[in-house]
Structure 1
Amino acid sequence: MDRIKEKMNSLRIEADEASSKVEELQKQIKVLEQENLQKEHEITSLQHKNQQLETELEKAETKAKELKDAADVGGNQLSQNEALQRRLQLLEDEAEEADKNLRETNDKLRQTDVKAGHFERKVSALEVERDNWEAKFEEMAKKFAAVQKELEDFQAEIGNI
C-alpha cells in the first residue's frame, strides 16, 4: 500500500513537473510567435522600402540619362566636361602619387619599428649584462675587502712577531 502511495506521489510530482514544462514551452512558443510576427512586419517594411528605393533609383537613372543627353547636345558643356575630365585625371594622378608616398612612408615606419624593437631588445640585453657585471663587481669588491682585511691582519701579526 505504501508503495502505491509513493508511486502515486511520484506520478503526481512528475505530472506537476510535466505541467510546468508544458507551461514554459507554451510561453516560449508565444515569445517565438511574437518574434516571428515582428520579423514578418520587418520583412514587409523592408520590402516596401526596397520598392521605394528601386523607384527612386529608376528616377535617378532616368534623370542621369536626361542630363547626359543634354550634356552631349551642348558643345559648351562638352568642353567643360573635357576640362573636368582632365582635372579629374590630374587629381587621380596626384592621388596615386600620394598613395605611393603613403605606402613608402608606411614601409619606412614599419622598418623603423622593427629597428626600434631590435634596439630595445639589444638595450634590454645590455642592461642585463650590465647588471651581471655590477653584481660581479660588488662580489669582487667584497672579496677584495676580505683579502685586504686578511692582509692587514697578517701584517699586524707579522708586526707583533
Structure 2
Amino acid sequence: MDKLKEKMNSLRLETDAAQEKADEALEKVKAQEQELLQKDHEIQALTHKNSLLEEEVEKLEQQLSESKDAAEEGATHGAANEGLSKKLAILEEDLENSDRNLRETTEKLRQTDVKAEHFERKVTSLEQERDDWEKKHEELLEKYNAAKKELEEITQQLESI
C-alpha cells in the first residue's frame, strides 16, 4: 500500500505538473491568440492604410500627369508667346517706320502747300502785272491808232493843199 500511495502521490505530482504545464500552455495559447488578434487588427489597419496610400499615390500620379501636361502646355504657350513677341516687335518697328514716313510726308505736304500758296500769290501778282501791261498796251494802241489817224488826216490835209 505504501507503494500504491507513493505511486498515487507520484501520479498526483505528475498530474499537478501536467496540469501546471497545461495551464501554462493555455496561457501561452491565450497570449498567442491575443497576439494573433492584435496582428490581425494591425494587418487590417495596415491594409486600410495601404489602400489609402495607394489612392493617394494614384491622386499624386494624376496630379503629376496634369502638372506635366500643364508644363508642356506652358512651354507651348511660352514658345507661341515668344513668337508673338517677335512679331509684335517687328510690327512696332514697322509702325515706327510708317509713323516717321507719315511725319516726313506730312512735312513735305505742308512745305508743298506753303510753296503752292507762294506761287499762287506770285501767279496772282503776275496776272495783275499782265493785266496792267495789257491795259497800258491797249492805251498805247489807242494812242498809236489815234496818232496814226491824226497823221493820216494831216497827210490828207497836206496832200489836199
Q: TM-score, normalised by structure 1?
A: 0.54
Mapping of 1:1-161 within 5 angstroms? 74-161=74-161
Larger radius of gyration, structure 1 or 2? 2
Distance in structure 2 (CA, Å) of the matches to 1:126 and 1:157? 45
- Structure 2 gaps of 5+ residues are 1-69
Per the alignment, residue 60 of structure 1 pairs with none
Structure 2: how far apart are the matches of 1:155 and 1:74? 115
1: CA distance, partners of 2:120 / 2:112:
12
Deviating 4+ runs (over 2 angstroms) = none
> Which blocks of at least 5 consecutive residues in structure 1 are unaligned?
1-69
Letter in 2 for 1:119: F
CA-to-aligned-CA distance 1:44-86 (integer Å, 9 cap, x gap): xxxxxxxxxxxxxxxxxxxxxxxxxx89x81121111111111
CA displacement 1:1-57 (0-9 Å, x = unmatched): xxxxxxxxxxxxxxxxxxxxxxxxxxxxxxxxxxxxxxxxxxxxxxxxxxxxxxxxx
**One-letter amino acid of the counterpart of residue 125, structure 2:** A
Q: CA deviation at 1:150?
A: 1.1
- The CA RMSD over aligned residues, in Å, is 1.9
Amino acid at match of 1:132: D
The alignment's TM-score, normalised by the length of structure 2, stands at 0.54
One-letter amino acid of the counterpart of residue 155, structure 1: T
Identical positions, percent: 53
Equivalenced residue count is: 92
Return the alpha-carbon distance in structure 2 between the equivalents of residues 113 and 126 of structure 1: 19
Distance in 2, Cα, partners of 1:126 & 1:108 = 26
